[in-house]
Amino acid sequence: MDISAVNALSYEEFVNIFGNVVEKCPLITAAVWTSHPFMSINALEAEINDFIDALPESGKEGILRCHPDLAGRDLHSGALTRESQEEQARAGMGELSPAEASRMARLNEKYKERFGFPFVICARMNDKARILSELSERLQNERAAESARGIAEVKKICRLRLQALVLSEAPKL
């Protein structure tokens, strides 16, 4: 689908197709639909990012709370969104050794206790070793810095999900 096809979508179609570019936050997609037509996929992404940036800190943390634990019970029970399932599988989250799985569960729990939201990282841009390392390192951050880092990761995830849905347009000559 190119950007002209995106712009031709009805509100319901748009929200149905793009409703999970920000994990379990279709209200963001619904809100940015009002800004269409979009000049490009980058313009659509910018609208989503601007919406997120305008939220109060509690809203940003709400977005972070919509994310599942990496290699958590949702992965093993099949309760992840299709996008999260694919992203976690690609990063090797379903193939952790028993020791890695135990470490991941322990670090995820410590992270949520410390910050009040799950650890968010763009799984598609990382592998299981890097994710475990980042989780351990980011536990040392201050809450505000970690919230900002989590939102930056949400934006990376959103960009990749948008790119998977919308083909880049060839430059016009």
Residues known to be catalytic: 67
Q: Is residue 123 within 8 Å of residue 153, measured between CB atoms?
A: no
Tell me how far CA of residue 104 lies from CA of 47, 87, 138, in angstroms: 34, 16, 13
The Cα 14–Cα 6 span in angstroms is: 7
Q: Is residue 1 within 8 Å of residue 166, measured between CB atoms?
A: yes
Closest alpha carbon to 169 in 46, 50, 13, 5: 5
Residue with tokens 């990761």: 153
Closest alpha carbon to 151 in 63, 74, 86: 63
